[in-house]
A = this chain, B = another copy of it.
């Protein structure tokens, strides 16, 4: 089942991808019905990055980063690499040389349920990574994996071409076919939030804004 590279994958329109990135993880996650979120141990290696891109997926053996080199060739402008090891591993699959190569192909970042190294260089280069660990542990190039096959990464299903949204809140996956609809809902949500934010800032209470008092009382909430 491994040893496969799928070359022609479909991607969502780049303006949809960019729109999802502008909305950010929390909004997109809500907009698509609270699905697609990776586990909270996936953390950015530096603060402040916010990206979206089309997933080029990698399934790799533990401690073996050969398939990353194979995947780089499949990258197009606007893509994000997403790697899941076939068994749990914290090794440093990726560093500044691979980032140099990926950036040269238009890659916007890396999401990896494993480790990464050269993190100071990656920050200086402006290449963002969300990972499970930071580790200098070197990897080998001995065993085949696959590129652009469906993977499970940090609890989320990722199909090649899905939209990856990542920021300081974590990483969320939007199925390619849903991307446009989710973007619409995300924007509606944002418009709606703006008004709420203004009223809450003015001192109005959520209890009133969301009309919660009656339901709380009916459930028996007691003020003492």
A133-B40, A205-B72 are known contacts. Are A48 and B120 too (CB-CB below 8 A)?
yes
Beta-carbon contact of A205 and B169 below 8 Å: no
Contact A200–B101 (Cβ < 8 Å): yes
Q: Is the CB of A140 within 8 A of B143?
A: yes
Report A34-55 residues with CB < 8 Å from chain B CB. 34-35, 37, 39-40, 43, 46-48, 50
A142 within 8 A of B: yes
How many chain copies does the complex carry?
Answer: 6
The reply to whether B144 and A152 contact each other, CB–CB distance below 8 Å, is: no
| Cα distance, A221 to B2, chains bound together (Å) | 8
Q: How far is the CB of A216 from chain B (nearest CB, A)?
A: 7
**Given A97-B197, A100-B200: A168 in contact with B120 (beta carbons within 8 A):** yes
Is A134's CB under 8 angstroms from B168's CB? yes
Take A2-B33, A136-B37, A197-B97 as given contacts and tell me if A118 and B169 are in contact as well, using a CB distance cutoff of 8 Å.
Answer: yes
Contact partners of A206 in chain B: CB under 8 A:
69, 72, 97-98, 101
Q: Which residues from chain B contact A210 at a C-beta distance below 8 Å?
A: 69, 141
Interface flags, A140-179, vs B, CB<8A=1, else 0? 1111100000101001110000000001111010000000
B96 touches A197 (CB 8 A): yes
Verify if A108 is at the interface (C-beta below 8 Å from B).
Answer: no
| 3 nearest CB pairs, A to B | A69-B206, A62-B63, A101-B200
